């Protein structure tokens, strides 16, 4: 029996007095063996990140380890001095974080940031440090190490930055790597590459990995074993294969069942006779920058976009970040001006209309944004937020309020909650409120811009079901923007795949998923984590 | 970069024209006649009228303005009504003391305020933090002349550690120069210490919550290194901005401080010139001050590019 690199036993971490439960983590035990990848899975608030941070001694001051032990190769970490922890960080425990955009210091070059680790923990000469850093940059498969060394973080892409993070964490070959959702903020194709890199490096050096994630696809791709957390308690722990194909605990079952499937379900055909609610013809959005040194430069964020949505139909636009999918959503809603082309809303071209003439269109087209935490005014009750739109269009306060109550029931919230403030609701509830707010305007077209991306899978499933219900009962036309193919498969009648501002493939969902034509679509499918894994149903 | 610099420098010209015009009009639209001032209480109306012609004040306003602008363009700021000396040479005499005072003040302010603010942020909520913040409220609210006289009373009059007033040029000995500047600079720096310390604290606090600070901790760096190497440099842009603003405000502080400590600098010159309605001197000083403002702003903007690689012009 090999000794585990990390052994957590009976760990309990208390939340501050005003927390929503007594403990962030309650008597959790698990081991990570050398060369093993243990995935810690849970929804937001399950305490998975708290465990990760406690293992490297970076818990927020408000959180205290109540009882239990954390042993690194047999050495107790609970209650050890800050100096000792500092010695261990990066030498024996490396850590990578979720946001590669903000986890690197913007005013230091990437090379210097990696070198800092050597400077702190070793006595290497300057020349030796440089060689080792360049070596490590090469090991994480970054092109042109010399240039990478000199680059600042903002000059690199998200995936490249995450590689720099990994280089930093692994340069001293720690026995344990803690990865806190390291691929969550990345595009699928980049995510696939980063997962492969982590697997490769940890396999070579037999590094133990504690991998925090909420995504069962990633678990299927990477994990040797899985531990499932709910509200700070470990509900199930076993090998990945066993847990994913034969979950025991009802919560695990529910989570796995919530993971959207790659195959689109059977759907009714949308009759050709249904009214065309949205039609764009040759839509272009160009951004022009005038700089002194470079002169006039033009970038097409969206080019030659022609799409159609009928009453009762959902069109999905799928693409990676920077593909132009949100640009299309903003053009269609005229939140930004359109450079060229036509946008017909129920037959009327709104592409070139002045903002003050868009009143009628503003009512017909409503949008639900990605982040439910930031898209509701925190200083207004949700009732005020919901009735503001209809009242602006002449509905009396009384009528708007009674409609708001009905809408609250429709989105499965308590109508009496109307006089509460957004912070009193959870993320999923807020997104329901945002949907109710959009529906209050009785729109013909509902644009959902990554509307379920910020939600946990179980909540995501519920919100998707709600959107589906509403579309059916109200016969709405829906434009559904998402980066997640699986989500698109669940709700869309047809799908347009965007890359570099262009639509590369546009087909009925069933056809597209069964038989993708374009190379880019195929590569997206290939990169989707856990695609080859047979999940329990 | 060079194109940017040229553009910024060229933009000084319209700014100066506007400033020159406004100063000219303000001086002539406010009551008070320099000729009557110079002529004194015993002068007759004829004497005053004669003086007005001599000073060039008898011409209609547009004509005066034309001559003024024409001379300005040629770099001629005119002659002081009182001292009958070229304004430029008078200003040149005052630059040394004022520059010394301003530099001394801003150096003291930065050396004290930046470490204090950083420490206060690092030890947020501690007695140190509360003391620094408490001091900064007091520092904001006490006028510089009060601080000046209190310092003079205790340190000069009672204890005799420092001279009460006066200035010694740097070429007569650097020690005497610095020694005589300590009191006035300290008095003047109090408000800037308050301002810069507060800004530093806020800025560092914000940076300390950033993800890359957590990354630095995960690397095993000690707090001191994190603070100096990662936090302070990222917090620098707002701090440098406030220092730039402080240098701007410093000009008004200099006027008061110079009169309290009788330092023969531009501040004292400005005060005399305004009281005596010495139009050419006031005009030259105001134009000089606005050049200083513009240059400080430009320097600050250029400093940003050094501090933050994401900022490029």
pLDDT digit string, tens, across residues B80-137: 888 888 888 888 888 888 888 898 899 999 999 999 999 999 998 899 999 999 999 9
Give the pLDDT band of residue A99 (cuts 50, 70, 90): confident
Calculate mean pLDDT across residues B268-294. Answer: 88
Whether A117 has its CB under 8 Å from any CB of chain B: the answer is yes
Q: Are residues A295 and A341 in the same domain?
A: yes
For residue A94, the chain B residues in CB contact (below 8 A) are 218
Rg, Å, chain A Cα set: 25
Look at residue B40 and tell me whether its pLDDT is greater than 90: no
Give the pLDDT band of residue A528 (cuts 50, 70, 90): confident
Closest CA to A175 of A319, A36, A346, A279: A36
Of A258, A292, A323, the position where a domain reaches its end is: A258
CB interface of A with B, residues 74-113, below 8 Å = 85-91, 94-95, 97, 99, 102-108
Cα–Cα distance, A393 to B140 (Å, whole number)? 50
Of B7, B222, B234, the CB nearest to A107: B234
Roughly how many angstroms between the first and final C-alpha of chain B, as a whole number?
6
Q: Are residues A314 and A205 in the same domain?
A: no
Contact B218 A95 (CB under 8 A): yes
Look at residue A537 and tell me whether its pLDDT is greater than 70: no
Whether B212 has its CB under 8 Å from any CB of chain A: the answer is yes
Cα–Cα distance, A383 to A437 (Å, whole number)? 9
CB interface of A with B, residues 509-528, below 8 Å = none
Q: Are residues A304 and A432 in the same domain?
A: yes
Look at residue B252 and tell me whether its pLDDT is greater than 80: no
Pairing verdict, β A6-14 and A64-72 = antiparallel
Of A91, A107, A116, the CB nearest to B307: A107
Q: How confident is the model at residue A281, as a pLDDT?
A: 92
Calculate mean pLDDT across residues A210-214. Answer: 92
Of B212, B220, B234, the CB nearest to A90: B220
Q: How confident is the model at residue A486, as a pLDDT?
A: 86
The whole domain housing A72 covers: 6-101+175-258
Pairing verdict, β A176-180 and A208-213 = parallel
Q: Are residues A352 and A468 in the same domain?
A: yes
Collapsed DSSP state (helix, strand, coil) of residue A80: coil
Q: How confident is the model at residue A1, as a pLDDT?
A: 58
Whether B125 has its CB under 8 Å from any CB of chain A: the answer is no
What CATH number corresponds to the domain at position A56? 3.40.50.300
Q: Are residues A242 and A346 in the same domain?
A: no
Look at residue A51 and tell me whether its pLDDT is greater than 90: yes
The mean of the pLDDT values for chain A is 89
Cα–Cα distance, B292 to A48 (Å, whole number)? 56
Superfamily covering domain B90-307: MetI-like (1.10.3720.10)
Which runs of E-coded beta strand occur in A126-192? 176-180
Q: Are residues A376 and A460 in the same domain?
A: yes
Contact A106 B215 (CB under 8 A): no
Beta-carbon contacts of A11 under 8 Å, excluding residues fewer than 6 positions away, are A25, A27, A28, A29, A51, A54, A65, A67, A68, A69, A70
Give the pLDDT band of residue A424 (cuts 50, 70, 90): confident
A267 assigned to some structural domain: no
Q: Are residues A332 and A398 in the same domain?
A: yes
Q: CA–CA distance from A525 to each of A191, A241, A342, A528 (Å)?
A: 13, 22, 31, 5
Contact B219 A90 (CB under 8 A): yes
Closest CA to B210 of A185, A97, A148: A97
Q: Are residues A406 and A312 in the same domain?
A: yes
Calculate mean pLDDT across residues A154-183. Answer: 92
Look at residue B145 and tell me whether its pLDDT is greater than 70: yes
Number of domains in chain A: 2
Share of chain B above pLDDT 90, in %: 21
Of A258, A293, A327, the position where a domain reaches its end is: A258
Closest CA to A365 of A401, A323, A329, A319: A329
For residue A168, the chain B residues in CB contact (below 8 A) are 215, 219
Q: Which two tokens stand for residue A147?
A: 């240039």
Q: Which two tokens stand for residue A532?
A: 């080859």
Look at residue A118 and tell me whether its pLDDT is greater than 90: yes
Q: Are residues A246 and A97 in the same domain?
A: yes
CB interface of B with A, residues 270-309, below 8 Å = 307-309
Contacts of range A78-86, beta carbons closer than 8 Å, 24 or more positions apart: A82/A57, A85/A56, A85/A57, A85/B220, A86/B220, A86/B221, A86/B222
Of A85, A86, A102, the CB nearest to B210: A102
Cα–Cα distance, A382 to A388 (Å, whole number)? 10
Could you count the other beta carbons within 10 Å of the beta carbon of residue A300? Answer: 17
A236 assigned to some structural domain: yes
- A462-513: pLDDT as tens digits: 888 888 888 888 899 999 999 888 889 889 999 999 998 999 999 999 999 8
For residue B309, the chain A residues in CB contact (below 8 A) are 106-107, 152, 154
Could you count the other beta carbons within 10 Å of the beta carbon of residue A346? Answer: 18
Give the pLDDT band of residue A305 (cuts 50, 70, 90): very high
Is pLDDT larger for residue A257 or for residue B43? Answer: A257
The mean of the pLDDT values for chain B is 87
Q: Are residues A285 and A208 in the same domain?
A: no
For B218, nearest residue in chain A (alpha carbons): A89
Q: Are residues A97 and A186 in the same domain?
A: yes
Look at residue A291 and tell me whether its pLDDT is greater than 70: no
Collapsed DSSP state (helix, strand, coil) of residue A70: strand
Whether A154 has its CB under 8 Å from any CB of chain B: the answer is yes
Whether B240 has its CB under 8 Å from any CB of chain A: the answer is no
Give the pLDDT band of residue A261 (cuts 50, 70, 90): confident
Q: Are residues A196 and A318 in the same domain?
A: no
Give the pLDDT band of residue B200 (cuts 50, 70, 90): very high
Whether B234 has its CB under 8 Å from any CB of chain A: the answer is yes
Calculate mean pLDDT across residues A219-244. Answer: 92
Look at residue B36 and tell me whether its pLDDT is greater than 80: no
Q: How confident is the model at residue A165, as a pLDDT?
A: 93
- A356-366: pLDDT as tens digits: 888 888 989 99
Contact A88 B216 (CB under 8 A): no
Look at residue A46 and tell me whether its pLDDT is greater than 90: no
């Amino acid at each position: 029996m090999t000794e585990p690199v990390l052994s957590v036993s009976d760990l309990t971490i208390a939340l501050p007095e005003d927390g929503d439960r007594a403990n962030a983590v309650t008597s959790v035990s698990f081991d990570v063996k050398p060369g093993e990848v243990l995935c810690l899975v849970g929804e937001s608030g399950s305490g998975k990140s708290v465990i990760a941070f406690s293992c490297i001694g970076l818990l927020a001051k408000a959180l205290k380890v109540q009882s239990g032990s954390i042993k690194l190769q047999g050495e107790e970490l609970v209650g050890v001095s800050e100096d000792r922890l500092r010695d261990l960080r990066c030498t024996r425990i490396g850590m990578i974080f979720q946001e590669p955009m903000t986890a690197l210091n913007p005013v230091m070059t990437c090379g210097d940031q990696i070198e800092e680790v050597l400077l702190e923990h070793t006595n290497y000469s300057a020349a030796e440090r440089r060689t080792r850093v360049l070596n490590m940059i090469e090991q994480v498969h970054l092109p042109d190490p010399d240039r990478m060394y000199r680059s600042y973080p903002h000059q690199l892409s998200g995936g490249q930055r995450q590689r720099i993070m990994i280089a930093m964490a692994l340069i001293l070959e720690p026995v344990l790597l803690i990865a806190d959702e390291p691929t969550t903020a990345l595009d699928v194709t980049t995510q696939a590459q980063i997962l492969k890199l982590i697997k490769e490096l940890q396999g070579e050096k037999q590094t133990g990995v504690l991998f925090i994630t909420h995504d069962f696809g990633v678990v299927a791709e990477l994990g040797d074993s899985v531990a499932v957390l709910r509200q700070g308690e470990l509900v199930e722990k076993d090998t990945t294969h066993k847990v994913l194909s034969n979950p025991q605990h009802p919560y695990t079952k529910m989570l796995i069942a919530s993971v959207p499937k790659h195959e689109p379900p059977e759907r009714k055909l949308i009759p050709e006779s249904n009214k065309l609610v949205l039609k764009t013809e040759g839509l272009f959005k160009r951004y022009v920058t005038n700089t002194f040194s470079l002169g006039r430069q033009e970038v097409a964020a969206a080019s030659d976009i022609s799409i159609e949505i009928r009453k009762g139909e959902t069109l999905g636009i799928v693409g990676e970040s920077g593909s132009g999918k949100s640009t299309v959503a903003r053009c269609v809603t005229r939140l930004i001006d359109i450079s060229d082309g036509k946008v017909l809303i129920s037959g009327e071209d709104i592409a070139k209309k002045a903002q003050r003439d868009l009143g009628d269109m503003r009512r017909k087209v409503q949008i639900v944004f990605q982040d439910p935490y930031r898209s509701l005014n925190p200083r207004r009750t949700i009732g005020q937020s919901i009735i503001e739109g209809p009242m602006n269009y002449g509905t009396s306060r009384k009528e708007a309020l009674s409609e708001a109550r009905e809408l609250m029931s429709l989105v499965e919230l308590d109508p009496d909650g109307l006089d509460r403030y957004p912070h009193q609701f959870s993320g999923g509830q807020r997104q329901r409120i945002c949907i109710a707010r959009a529906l209050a305007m009785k729109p013909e077209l509902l644009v959902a811009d990554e509307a379920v991306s910020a939600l946990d899978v179980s909540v995501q499933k519920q919100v998707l079901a709600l959107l589906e219900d509403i579309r059916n009962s109200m016969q709405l036309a829906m434009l559904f923007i998402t980066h997640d193919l699986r989500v698109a498969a669940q709700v869309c009648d047809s799908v347009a795949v965007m890359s570099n501002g262009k639509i590369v493939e546009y087909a009925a969902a069933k056809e597209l998923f069964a038989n993708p034509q374009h190379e880019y679509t195929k590569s997206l499918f290939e990169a989707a984590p856990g695609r080859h894994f047979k999940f329990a149903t | 970069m060079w194109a940017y610099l040229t553009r910024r420098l060229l933009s000084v010209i319209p700014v100066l024209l506007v400033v020159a015009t406004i100063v000219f009009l303000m001086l002539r639209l406010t009551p008070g006649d320099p000729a009557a001032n110079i002529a004194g209480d015993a002068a007759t109306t004829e004497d005053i009228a004669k003086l007005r012609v001599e000073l060039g004040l008898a011409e209609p306003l547009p004509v005066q303005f034309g001559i003024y602008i024409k001379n300005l363009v040629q770099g001629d700021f005119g002659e002081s009504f009182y001292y009958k000396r070229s304004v430029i040479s008078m200003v040149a005499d005052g630059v040394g003391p004022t520059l010394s005072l301003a530099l001394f003040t801003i150096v003291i302010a930065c050396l004290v305020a930046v470490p204090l603010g950083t420490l206060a942020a690092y030890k947020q909520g501690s007695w140190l933090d509360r003391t620094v913040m408490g001091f900064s409220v007091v520092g904001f609210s006490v006028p510089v002349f009060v601080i000046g006289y209190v310092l003079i009373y205790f340190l000069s009059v009672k204890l005799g550690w420092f001279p009460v007033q006066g200035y010694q040029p740097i070429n007569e000995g650097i020690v005497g120069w610095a020694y005589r500047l300590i009191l006035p600079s300290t008095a003047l720096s109090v408000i800037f210490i308050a301002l810069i310390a507060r800004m530093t604290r806020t800025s560092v606090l914000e940076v300390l919550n950033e993800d890359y600070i957590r990354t630095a901790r995960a690397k095993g760096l000690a707090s001191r290194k994190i603070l100096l190497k990662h936090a302070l440099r990222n917090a620098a842009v707002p701090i440098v901005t406030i220092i730039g603003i402080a240098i701007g405000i410093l000009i008004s502080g200099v006027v008061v401080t110079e009169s309290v400590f009788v330092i023969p600098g531009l501040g004292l010159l400005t005060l005399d010139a305004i009281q005596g309605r010495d139009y050419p001197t006031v005009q030259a000083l105001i134009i000089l001050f606005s050049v200083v403002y513009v240059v400080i702003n430009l320097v600050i903007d250029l400093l940003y590019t050094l501090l933050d690689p994401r900022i490029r012009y």
